[in-house]
Amino acid sequence: MALSNVLEAPAAGFNFENSSRNAALQAGLEGQTPRPMKTGTTIAGVVFKDGVVLGADTRATSSEVVADKMCSKIHYMAPNIYGRKPRVVMAVNILQDLLYRYRGQIGASLILGGVDCTGSHLYTVGPYGSVDKKPYLAMGSGNLAAMGIMEDGFRPDLELDQAKQLVRSAIQAGILNDLGSGHNIDLCVITDRGVDYIRPYQESQYKDHSQILRSP
């Protein structure tokens, strides 16, 4: 049912269904529009000799507040279709169509990786539906530090251990240079033999030692 909703073609022409809702929200806010919340993250991925390695930090932020220290940012996309396995580009096309339809209102920047009958693939999907295919990628508020590590360490035909260490180092660089990224590092290894989701791959060295002080 959920998949059919995603694949449903949008109605032709302009859509004004939200006009009444927007007018009611504006009247209730008394002229004060809500302030957008800044979020942060570091995600990365690399194509290696036998598949794809994805990585992400586990900190979820809402402006200056750390909302969750153990957020899962690597998500399972789809089961096998009856008859044959889906191709990675099919999932990319669905995400691209959905994000383009909302013209950036969803605000999601995605990395999608997978292995199918045509090989190993790694895509970035922007908030407006733009798509790019690369052998290594980094996105999020910590992407500049992460991309520097990826550019320096990437080599064609990386072995599995080399690819895992490269993605780990990229996420770690994002954590150390971006306040919106932090805590543990998760990795996901995808090959034609299956998926290995390692959560956590590396635990944070900064432990929470909170204490409650009581007056005598």
- Give per-residue pLDDT as tens, 40-98: 899 999 999 999 999 999 998 887 788 889 999 998 876 544 476 788 999 999 999 98
Rounded to whole angstroms, how far apart are CA atoms 153 and 21? Answer: 50
Using an 8 Å Cβ cutoff, are 31 and 42 in contact? no
- pLDDT of residue 1 exceeding 80, the answer is no
pLDDT tens digit string along 113-172? 999 999 999 999 999 999 999 999 999 999 999 999 999 999 999 999 999 999 999 999
- How high is the pLDDT of residue 13? 64
pTM assigned to the model: 0.78
**Active site positions, annotated:** 41
- How high is the pLDDT of residue 211? 53
The topology under which CATH files domain 37-82+110-115+134-202 is Glutamine Phosphoribosylpyrophosphate, subunit 1, domain 1 (3.60.20)
Confidence label for 16 from pLDDT (cuts 50, 70 and 90): confident
